[in-house]
A and B are shown apart, each in its own frame.
Chain A
Amino acid sequence: MYCNQRPEKPGNKKEFLKKITNMARANSLWVTAYGTGCGAIELRPLYTSRFDMERFGIAMRPTPRQADVLIISGYLATKTLKRVIRVYEQIQDPKYIIALGSCTINGGMYFDSYNTLNVLDKYLPVDVYVMGCMPRPEAVIDGFSLLMQKIKDGRAQGWKHYKENLDYYRENQKKIITDWDLPDYNW
């Protein structure tokens, strides 16, 4: 089942309401349990008792419908990108993307691969990049705290940017996904 309606532009809230909601959002980030590349291995110690990300209010959710954050962990193949778009668009607003590793920034060691894309933010709006190959769990925690700070300041607006510039993102996505069979709007 898809919703074929084009996404509506989000309305503006009052300033004091914004501050309260942003603070609440920043302290309860729920992450989709979905790994795209080798970085998913580095996330295991982060979830579990060694680094224990639940102390920051970050929890794993089994479905994108309950989550706020999508972690693109490492290299992203064009085949996976199609699934990632589907997952990202199912997440309820507001939603954020954290991209791990140098592969998502400029291709990393797979810059000349026929099947992994080089620049992620052409296809999806990225809020925080965490560099490294692969980033250690400490670096990922640092990325999360940066994201929290951005949300508190009201600067994590990637999801709004995606809605407003949907045509630009769709054009780029369709350029590399040659067998495009997703519906045009599937939230």
Chain B
Amino acid sequence: MIDKVKKELDIRFPLLKLVREQHNYLHVKVAKASVVDAVLMARTCLGFTTLQLISTVDRLEDDVFQMTWILENQGACFVLLISADYPRENCIVPSLSQMWPTASTFEREIFEMFGISFPGNPREGEDFLLEGWKDMPPMRRDFETEEYSMRVFGERQPREHLDPRQYVGDIVGEWNTPMGRKRKEDK
């Protein structure tokens, strides 16, 4: 199966980059212009008829969103991941909701969590998890979640910070907490 998939993809998409492969798993990266073609080809010619998930990774350092479409060929027990990078500013990604109705739900969630818009999705912009959210999309890595939480929800005053070392002594070892790190720097 893997040889057939690689051969078919190689012929049609010369800019394709192999990310990772296993006996039942192949992860490829294509140029963003040919994503829809690659997914369509995998569905029609190679039998990847199930869309498992659309996932997004916010690569802030490279200033891109890495979108991944996870497709599965259930007859051959084979999973194909097709990735592409999109710029973070005003990110627009083609919608696959015409091919798989499930994609519409994934795209609504991604729109809410990352602010990526999918033109062509009939239910785009409907509330999914966050109702009436007005701030920056919360799963972007430049969203300051603690600052937001303190500003909107507040905290109980007075809030006491207790160091476990105070109670059990030095047997706890180096704690990977802000307090533990601070103590380490002091030494």
Contacts and interface: CB of A to CB of B under 8 A. Distances in A.
Contacts, number: 53
7 contacts: A79-B129, A107-B155, A111-B146, A114-B148, A118-B153, A119-B156, A178-B132
Contacts of B143: 114
Contact of B154 (A115, A119, A177): A119
B152 interface: yes
Number of contact residues on B: which range applies?
20 to 34
Contacts of B129: 79, 115
Given A112-B146, A114-B149, A106 B131 contact: no
B132 A179 contact: yes
Interface string B129-163: 11111110010000101101100111110010000
Interface in B34-62: none
Interface in B82-136: 127, 129-135
Contacts of A114: 135, 138, 143, 145, 148-149
Given A112-B145, A112-B149, A114-B148, A178 B134 contact: yes
A105 B156 contact: yes
Main secondary structure of the interface of B (DSSP, over half): loop
Interface of B: 127, 129-135, 138, 143, 145-146, 148-149, 152-156, 159
A132 to B, nearest CB: 16
Given A177-B132, A178-B132, 14 more contacts: A79-B129, A105-B156, A106-B155, A106-B159, A107-B155, A113-B145, A114-B138, A118-B156, A119-B154, A119-B156, A176-B152, A176-B153, A177-B131, A179-B131
